[in-house]
Amino acid sequence: MQAEDCVFCRIADGRIPSAKVYEDENVAAFLDLSPVNPGHTLVIPKKHFKDILDFPCELAPAVCAAVQKIAGALVAATGAKGVNVLQNNGIAAGQSVFHIHWHIIPRYEGDGLELWHQSPYPSAEAMQEMAAKISRAIQE
């Protein structure tokens, strides 16, 4: 299943050129056009799925294996001291291409990328209430 207007589908099937770093029957990986750091790679399933809510769990092992392989190769190729593996879902989370994808970003101490802004719970009770609310939603 491909989406005709999806840029990542067109990259996956070769209609748009890319700097591919990996490909197998389920997954394609290529360099991000706007990298955070050199080597920043995107990993996609070749079939079109909008986001994590649309993504079939059956493909997770293939994607996870590719992400792990590519992360190790990025560290070896770039000399990075670590990697971030990020996956955004929805506009509010920063998703700009609506074909599920994982970012593998090589990281270096002091590279300036800051990912987290903490917003602590106001109390232990508020934290437990949120945990209970999520648990109920999982069971529904």
Nearest-angstrom CA–CA distance, 54 and 13: 20
Which amino acid, residue 39?
G
Residue 86 phi/psi, 5-degree rounding, is -125, 145
Contact 8, 43 (CB under 8 A): no
Name the nearest CA neighbour of 106 among 33, 35, 45: 35
Residue 82: strand, helix, or coil: strand
| Straight-line distance from the first to the last Cα atom of the chain, in angstroms, rounded to the nearest whole number | 29
Active-site amino acid positions: 101
